[in-house]
């Protein structure tokens, strides 16, 4: 039904897709597997008409097609259900389902007709209990997902692409999702299903296509019978060159962080870990495994029960301000949204976390501030070496260095790094790795989160593997390899 | 940053220059006189002090609609017979405390009560005006002869300029220093530019937000003293629509309503443009309605020009 051949998509600096093949048959659930950065989301966006491929052909029902815009894709019968559901919370169920193609006459919405249409589609999905007039914002995540699917059906979609649809769902809701998927496929609709959870793929999937580094490495494997080890092998061994600095020569010092039985309902439970001075501890796990949420809770930015002890001193609940004052620093996942003042200079961004150090009675000693910032710009080789430039003119890697530089000031004991190389090109990564290792060499404890398993293994001294909010393995990085970690993450089996 | 700032202010200086030329051409005898300039500055002083506070709030990502009402309340409170008994110094302190207190309430509502600034300060606008009416029984309260020290701020001149203009200048200078040379100012930009980044960098965003509104209230208190000096009264009708003038001046001065960017100098230049327009219309005996239309146009043109400027620099 859908055949993609040799799809190439080049972004500035990255070849996101480098010859992807995919063929999907009518009425099947076709699973797409691959690590972060393998090209899954780019591939989806090509089908959704968001990106135009640079090379390659797409055939649908035997005829060549090229969706050039989301509208084109919808007209072809492709519907995409993204991980973050794209619903308008303030509108009703029916209004959401028919958003953009309302039942209307002369610009006036025919509400009754819309509601009737919505009721039909929802009934077809086996959810007549969702009222078409209900406000979407008040629905449960599972019900929202049904609405998303109803929208796809309202377009008469022949091919539905689902990006990690189960990530936000509870167990019994997943069962219902699968029931709907089976009904759809029975009607001849094809589903492209993306998930990291192998047990789901085994349950719902018919065939599997595996992506690695923007290429298809296996097409149409039987979903139920292919051994896990074969799938994991196909996904691992990425070609990206990772250059890691050597591990610390000296032994780690005293414990700087001890976390006991930290629990945040819905995110993670019973997490216990420790970080020593000069040690890098890595957290490996999927999106939704609780890895970022643990960092937030340690930092005081997310409510949680349990104990956080920093350098022997128990942190009471008091939030980020206290954590920073006691010597913690966080380089958050979303650099631009959570860390940078884009309009401000590199200097102002570097000193933001330790302003009192440069001030007397609130008066900033600008000469000293500039001198310290200049020193760090040179030490971390931030380019261009111009501390007065607005930080938005720097590349992603250099911006990230500035964020790290922020926490080199003020005598930090513990740094929390969430995806420190996100959006950083390969060349600049090696630099960042060296900087992070350098931080540890200075005696700072580092707690690192990365979705890229090789990065965690290469950079950290010790690794904790997370799955669905629990630590399932803890041990020296040297004793692990990518294959085993992925196996644990996907199968939930402690090694 | 400094070059960007200068370029942005350049346009404002050009606008002021043009208005001055218009004044010199249309009313050569009246415009450039000492008395006209002094009266312009005296007029600008009251809103000017408020504008300094409003600049902080807006750079910090908020908005304060209650400034005129708070000023009126402070002027009424300071001129009640009970307060006047204690003399001019206590009256001034009273105005400042009332202003700061009302600003603090705004700040608490916004920062800790999680009310949208627009709504919290709108409520304060209505309530403060009402309280002022109640306290004064809707009557204009004269400053008694024993307390004329307050009025002297407007009648006493130093180098030919009334003292209240010096007060205005002092507030501007202190505001500039606070914004550009202290941790408080740096944090104001951070909180307005990216509150999440500020929070994760260890800044107490809520406390800072509260302080910003208190600062705005403090400026309203000072403005209340100046308007008492100029009008020799306290009244619940003082400062009507000052909030719009102050916000307009801040916007014309290049401060983004979304926060994180702006300057005190720009706001003051924006205010001077407004003052000049008012003055030119009055001198030329033109309709005040046309004056409002002109001001509306200037706001739109100023913002459009700045947006183009920003794009070029980016």
Residue ranges in A216-361 assigned as alpha helix (H): 228-235, 291-299, 319-325, 346-351
Q: How far apart are CA B75 and CA B233, in angstroms?
A: 8
ipTM over 0.95: no
Going from the C-alpha of B270 to that of each of A148, B16, B38, B58, B190, the distances in angstroms are: 49, 9, 18, 15, 24
Q: How far apart are CA A360 and CA A379, in angstroms?
A: 26
User: Given CA atoms A458, A459, A464, A468 in this order, what sign does their dihedral have?
Assistant: negative
Q: How far apart are CA A445 and CA A439, in angstroms?
A: 8
Reading the block at residue A403, the tokens are: 């964020």
Rounded to the nearest 5°, which phi and psi values hold at A180? -65, -40
Q: How far apart are CA B177 and CA B133, in angstroms?
A: 36
Going from the C-alpha of A493 to that of each of A228, A486, B66, the distances in angstroms are: 12, 10, 61
Residues A140 and A26 in one domain: yes
Do the domain assignments include residue A247? no
Interface of A with B (CB under 8 A): 299, 301, 320-321, 323-325, 330, 332, 337-345, 348, 352-353, 355-356, 359, 362-364, 366, 388, 390, 406
A320 neighbourhood in chain B, CB within 8 Å: 199-200, 202
The range of the structural domain enclosing residue A379 comes to 255-491
State the average pLDDT for chain B.
89
Strands A29-33 and A190-194: parallel
> Which secondary-structure segment (H or E) carries A173?
helix A171-186
Q: Cis ω on the peptide bond leading into residue A384 (within 30° of 0)?
A: yes
SS3 label, residue A72: helix
Rounded to the nearest 5°, which phi and psi values hold at A195? -160, 155
Do the domain assignments include residue A241? no
Do the domain assignments include residue A20? yes
Residues A25 and A141 in one domain: yes
Residues A317 and A269 in one domain: yes
User: Given CA atoms B220, B224, B229, B231 in this order, what sign does their dihedral have?
Assistant: positive
Q: What angle do CA B47, B48, B51 make, to 5 degrees?
A: 85
For residue A243, how many C-alpha atoms fall within 13 Å in the half-sphere facing its CB? Answer: 10
Is the pLDDT at A115 greater than 80? The verdict is yes
pLDDT in the model for residue B146: 82
CATH number at residue A194: 3.40.50.300
Residues A211 and A335 in one domain: no
SS3 label, residue B294: helix
Contact between chains at B197 and A337 (C-beta distance less than 8 A): yes
Q: Is A160 in contact with A184 (CB distance < 8 Å)?
A: yes
Is the pLDDT at A494 greater than 60? The verdict is no
B259 in reach of chain A (CB within 8 A): no
pLDDT in the model for residue B206: 93
The per-residue pLDDT for range A384-412, each reduced to its tens digit, is 888 998 898 888 888 888 999 998 888 88
Locate the chain A residue with the closest alpha carbon to B256.
Answer: A343
Q: How far apart are CA B252 and CA B263, in angstroms?
A: 11
Q: How far apart are CA B51 and CA B246, in angstroms?
A: 5
Please provide the DSSP assignment of A483-494 as one string.
Answer: HHHHHHHHH---
Mean pLDDT, residues A54-72 taken together: 87
SS3 label, residue A317: coil
Do the domain assignments include residue A248? no
Residues A179 and A299 in one domain: no
> Which secondary-structure segment (H or E) carries B59?
helix B34-59
Give the best residue of A300, A318, A342, A355 to mutate against chain B (max B CB count within 10 A).
Answer: A355
A171, A202, A235: which is the final residue of a domain? A235
Residues A368 and A421 in one domain: yes
The per-residue pLDDT for range B243-262, each reduced to its tens digit, is 999 999 999 888 888 888 89
A340 neighbourhood in chain B, CB within 8 Å: 194, 197
Instruction: Please give the tally of structural domains in chain A.
Output: 2
Give A39 to chain B, closest Cα distance, Å: 30
A207, A235, A263: which is the final residue of a domain? A235
CA dihedral of B114, B118, B119, B123, whole degrees rounded to 10: 120
Do the domain assignments include residue A243? no
The per-residue pLDDT for range B54-100, each reduced to its tens digit, is 999 999 999 999 999 999 999 999 998 888 888 889 999 999 999 99
Token pair 């002094």 in the structure block, residue: B38
What region, left, alpha or beta, does residue A349 occupy, with left being phi > 0 and alpha being psi -120 to 50 degrees? Answer: alpha
Token pair 């899954």 in the structure block, residue: A40
Contact between chains at A363 and B182 (C-beta distance less than 8 A): yes
Do the domain assignments include residue A240? no
Q: Is A282 in contact with A480 (CB distance < 8 Å)?
A: no
B310 neighbourhood in chain A, CB within 8 Å: none
Q: In this structure, how many other beta carbons lie within 10 angstroms of the beta carbon of residue A441?
A: 13
Give A137 to chain B, closest Cα distance, Å: 20
Residues A196 and A324 in one domain: no
Residues A204 and A272 in one domain: no
Locate the chain A residue with the closest alpha carbon to B260.
Answer: A343
Q: In this structure, how many other beta carbons lie within 10 angstroms of the beta carbon of residue A438?
A: 15
A205, A235, A265: which is the final residue of a domain? A235
Q: How far apart are CA B2 and CA A175, in angstroms?
A: 60
Residues A206 and A263 in one domain: no
Residues A295 and A192 in one domain: no
Q: What is the value of pTM for the model shown?
A: 0.81
pLDDT in the model for residue A50: 87
Comparing CB atoms, the residue among B183, B193, B203 nearest residue A344 is: B193
Strands A280-284 and A445-450: parallel
Residues A385 and A457 in one domain: yes
Q: Is B289 exposed, middle or buried (0-12, 13-18, 19+ CB in 10 A)?
A: exposed
Do the domain assignments include residue A250? no
The residue with greater pLDDT, A316 or B123, is B123
State the average pLDDT for chain A.
85
CA dihedral of A325, A330, A335, A340, whole degrees rounded to 10: 10
Residues A222 and A283 in one domain: no
Contact between chains at B196 and A352 (C-beta distance less than 8 A): no
Bridge partners of A268? A264
The per-residue pLDDT for range B250-308, each reduced to its tens digit, is 998 888 888 888 999 999 999 999 899 888 888 888 888 888 888 888 888 888 877 76
Q: What angle do CA B41, B45, B50 make, to 5 degrees?
A: 150
Contact between chains at A341 and B200 (C-beta distance less than 8 A): no
Q: How far apart are CA B273 and CA B1, in angstroms?
A: 24
Strands A159-163 and A108-109: unpaired
Q: How far apart are CA A328 and CA A322, in angstroms?
A: 9
Do the domain assignments include residue A242? no
Domains in chain B: ranges and CATH: 2-313 (1.10.3470)
**Residue A81 contacts by C-beta under 8 Å, 6 or more apart in sequence?**
A145, A148, A149, A152, A160, A161, A162, A163, A165
* Per-residue pLDDT band at B121 (split at 50, 70, 90): very high
The per-residue pLDDT for range A225-278, each reduced to its tens digit, is 888 778 877 877 655 566 788 877 667 788 899 999 999 888 888 899 999 998
B204 neighbourhood in chain A, CB within 8 Å: 321
SS3 label, residue A107: coil
Of the listed ranges A375-379, A432-436, A487-491, B236-240, the one predicted with least confidence: A487-491
Q: Is A43 in contact with A192 (CB distance < 8 Å)?
A: no
């Amino acid at each position: 039904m859908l055949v993609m051949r040799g799809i190439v998509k080049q972004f500035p600096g990255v070849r996101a897709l480098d010859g992807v093949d995919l063929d999907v048959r009518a009425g099947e659930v076709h699973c797409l597997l691959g690590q972060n950065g393998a090209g899954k989301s780019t591939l989806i966006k090509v089908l959704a008409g968001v990106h135009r491929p640079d090379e390659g052909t797409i055939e649908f029902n035997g005829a060549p097609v090229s969706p050039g815009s989301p509208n084109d894709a919808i007209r072809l019968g492709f519907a995409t259900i993204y991980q973050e559901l794209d619903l308008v919370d303030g509108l009703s169920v029916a209004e959401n389902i028919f958003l953009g193609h309302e039942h209307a006459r002369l610009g006036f919405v025919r509400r009754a007709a819309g509601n009737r249409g919505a009721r039909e589609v929802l009934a077809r999905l086996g959810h007549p209990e969702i009222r078409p007039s209900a406000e979407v914002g008040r629905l449960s995540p599972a019900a929202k997902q049904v609405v998303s699917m109803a929208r796809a059906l309202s377009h008469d979609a022949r091919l539905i692409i689902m990006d990690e649809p189960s990530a936000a769902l509870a167990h019994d809701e997943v069962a219902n999702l699968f029931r709907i998927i089976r009904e759809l496929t029975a009607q001849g609709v094809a589903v492209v299903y993306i998930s990291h959870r192998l047990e789901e793929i085994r349950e719902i999937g018919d065939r599997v296509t595996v992506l690695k580094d923007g290429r298809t490495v296996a097409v149409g494997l039987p979903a139920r019978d292919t051994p896990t080890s074969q799938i994991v092998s196909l996904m691992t061994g990425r070609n990206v060159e990772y250059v890691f600095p050597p591990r610390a020569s000296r032994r780690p010092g005293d414990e700087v962080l001890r976390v006991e039985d930290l629990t945040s309902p819905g995110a993670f439970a019973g997490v216990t870990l420790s970080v020593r001075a000069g040690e890098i501890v890595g957290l490996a796990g999927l999106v939704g495994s609780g890895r970022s949420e643990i960092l937030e809770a340690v930092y005081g930015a997310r409510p949680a029960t349990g104990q956080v002890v920093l350098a022997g001193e128990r942190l009471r609940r008091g939030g980020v301000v206290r954590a920073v004052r006691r010597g913690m620093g966080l380089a958050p996942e979303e650099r631009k949204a959570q860390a940078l003042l884009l309009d401000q200079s590199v200097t102002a961004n570097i000193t933001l976390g330790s302003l009192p150090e440069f001030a007397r009675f609130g008066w900033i000693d600008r000469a000293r501030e500039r001198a310290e910032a200049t020193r760090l710009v040179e030490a971390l080789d931030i380019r261009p070496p111009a501390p007065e430039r607005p930080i938005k003119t720097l590349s992603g890697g250099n911006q990230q260095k500035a964020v790290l530089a922020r926490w080199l000031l003020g005598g930090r004991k513990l740094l929390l790094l969430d995806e420190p190389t996100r959006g950083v090109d390969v060349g600049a990564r090696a630099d960042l790795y060296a900087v992070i290792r350098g931080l540890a060499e200075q005696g700072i404890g580092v707690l690192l989160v990365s979705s890229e398993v090789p990065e965690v293994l290469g950079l950290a001294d010790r690794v904790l593997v997370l799955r669905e909010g629990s630590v399932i393995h803890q041990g020296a990085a040297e004793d692990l390899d990518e294959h085993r970690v992925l196996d644990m993450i996907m199968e939930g089996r402690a090694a | 940053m400094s070059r960007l700032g200068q370029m942005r202010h350049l346009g404002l200086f050009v606008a002021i220059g043009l208005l001055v030329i218009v004044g010199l051409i249309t009313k050569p005898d009246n415009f450039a006189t000492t008395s006209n300039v002094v009266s312009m500055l005296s007029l600008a002083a009251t809103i000017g002090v408020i504008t300094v506070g409003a600049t902080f709030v807006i750079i910090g990502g908020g908005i304060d609609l209650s400034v005129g009402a708070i000023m009126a309340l402070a002027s009424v409170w300071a001129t009640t017979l009970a307060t006047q008994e204690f003399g001019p110094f206590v009256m001034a302190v009273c105005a400042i405390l009332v202003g700061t207190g009302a600003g603090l309430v705004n700040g608490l509502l916004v920062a800790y009560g999680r009310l949208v600034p627009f709504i919290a300060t709108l409520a304060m606008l209505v309530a403060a005006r009402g309280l002022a009416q109640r306290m004064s029984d809707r009557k204009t309260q004269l400053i008694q002869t024993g307390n004329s020290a307050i009025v002297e701020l407007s009648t006493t001149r130093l180098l030919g300029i009334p003292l209240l203009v010096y007060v205005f200048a002092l507030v501007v200078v202190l505001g500039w220093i606070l914004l550009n040379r202290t941790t408080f100012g740096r944090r104001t930009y951070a909180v307005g530019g990216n509150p999440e980044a500020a929070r994760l960098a260890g800044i107490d965003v809520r406390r800072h937000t509260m302080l910003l509104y208190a600062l705005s209230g403090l400026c309203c208190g000072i403005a209340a003293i100046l308007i008492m000096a100029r009008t020799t009264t306290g009244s619940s009708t003082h400062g009507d629509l000052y909030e719009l003038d102050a916000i307009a001046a801040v916007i014309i001065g290049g401060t983004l309503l979304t926060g994180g960017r702006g300057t005190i100098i720009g706001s003051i230049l924006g205010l001077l443009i407004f003052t000049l327009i008012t003055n030119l219309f009055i001198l030329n005996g033109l309709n005040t309605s046309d004056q409002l239309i002109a001001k509306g146009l200037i706001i739109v043109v100023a913002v459009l020009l700045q947006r183009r400027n920003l794009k070029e620099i980016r």
